Amino acid sequence: MNSKEYFSLKFENDELIFLDQTKLPLEEIYHATSDYERIANAIERLEIRGAPAIGIAAAYALALATKNVKKESINNTFASAFERLKNTRPTAVNLFFSLNELKNVYQNSDASNDIYNLLLSKAIDIHNDDVKKCESIGKNGLKIFNKKSIVLTHCNTGKLATGGEGTAFNIIKQAYKKDLVEFVYADETRPLLQGSRLTAFELEKEGIPFAVQTDSSAASLFSAGKIDIVIVGADRIASNGDIANKIGTYNLAVLCSFHNVPFYIAAPTTTIDKNIKTGNDIKIEYRKSEELFNINGQKIIPNKFNTYTPAFDVTPSNLIKGIITEEKICEYPYNFSNE
């Protein structure tokens, strides 16, 4: 199957069209909507997910909220939509970056202007910018390979998670094309299986040889000497280089440190939050217990059990060999507040 046969989201005829990622890999179902509330729900339900993709979708949603709204109601409508979208997911900083970019456009616009098209133009710019950032991240990431390697990755960082070809996944993809990647191990990424459902879906589309393993199997791969490099994404990066990413990322960083395997982050500069000093300042999202109780609607454990359900964990910067952005590969110690 050709990788061009699918996309995460696009905007056409005043509608956001997005692939419902909760149905993958068994079904490829696309939805089209001009309703910002529907898009907000899609972000919350993880129909749309991945930090850059969330930011792009929210930008389109905020623009759509102002379409055909009377001038006397526009301020209240914009403020209401902004707050609704801001509260969909608390950890990924790209969401807040995109919403604030549109807010700046709105606040600096003349009342006589066509607000919808002004905001839509900015949303399109954000989308196009992410496409370019993904391309540059893929190219910059080739520099970390010094031999044909076996790569381990976690969660999903490909086309499904971004507006372009992906971050960590795009590095793997470009390296495979250059004969720098031999094989990929994809963590299943519990509890919502973004690795076994989404990354495996994309690896198969690209024709890259891979295997899916349980998250807890990673240590055995390291101990057997089967991993040369680990590349993952990030949902937020603090000024000192601490990163928040899908739960289970910290485990991999510790394994890399113990087994002397390089651990890399790939993310656009929009994921860097210069307003926070360390990972301790990152707000971690907690998901509903039902995501542990059920798989694909089938109950596997009783609801009476207590649960612990963080969606993300924080990896200290000293465990990160490098952070690959569209601009360059940054190395420890990190100081993004001065960049």
The four Cα atoms 26, 30, 36, 39 give a dihedral, to 10 degrees, of 20
CB distance 115 to 71 below 8 Å: no
Question: What domains can be seen in the chain, in order of their start residue?
Answer: 3-135 (1.20.120.420), 142-338 (3.40.50.10470)
Beta bridge partner(s), residue 237: 243, 272
- What average pLDDT does the structure give for the chain? 95
Q: How much is the average pLDDT of 25-36?
A: 96
Q: How many Cβ atoms are within 10 Å of 153's Cβ, its own excluded?
A: 27
Neighbouring-strand partners of residue 152: 185, 230
Does residue 2 have a pLDDT over 60? no
* Consecutive H or E run containing 166: none
Q: State pLDDT tens for residues 190-224.
A: 999 999 999 999 999 999 999 999 999 999 999 99
Q: Which of 1-15, 54-68, 202-216, 289-303 shows the lowest mean pLDDT across its residues? A: 1-15
pTM for this prediction: 0.95
Q: Which of 130, 215, 228, 235 is catalytic?
A: 235
CA 244 vs CA 47, 207, 233, 312: distances in Å: 21, 30, 9, 6
Active site residue 228: no
Judged against a pLDDT cut of 70, whether residue 107 lies above it is answered with yes
| Helices and strands: H and E segment counts in the chain | 11, 15
For residue 74, give the nearest of 112, 27, 24 by alpha carbon: 112
Inter-axis angle of helices 51-65 and 115-141, to 10 degrees? 170
Q: What distance in Å separates the CA atoms of residue 52 and residue 153, rounded to the nearest whole number?
A: 18
- What is the C-alpha to C-alpha distance for residues 34 and 42, in angstroms, rounded to an integer? 13
Work out the burial of residue 68: count CB atoms within 10 Å of its CB; fewer than 13 is exposed, 13-18 middle, 19 or more buried: exposed
Which of the residue ranges 24-38, 156-170, 237-251, 296-310 would you say has the lowest mean pLDDT? Answer: 296-310
DSSP state of 283: P
- Angle, CA of 297, 217 and 299, to the nearest 5°: 15
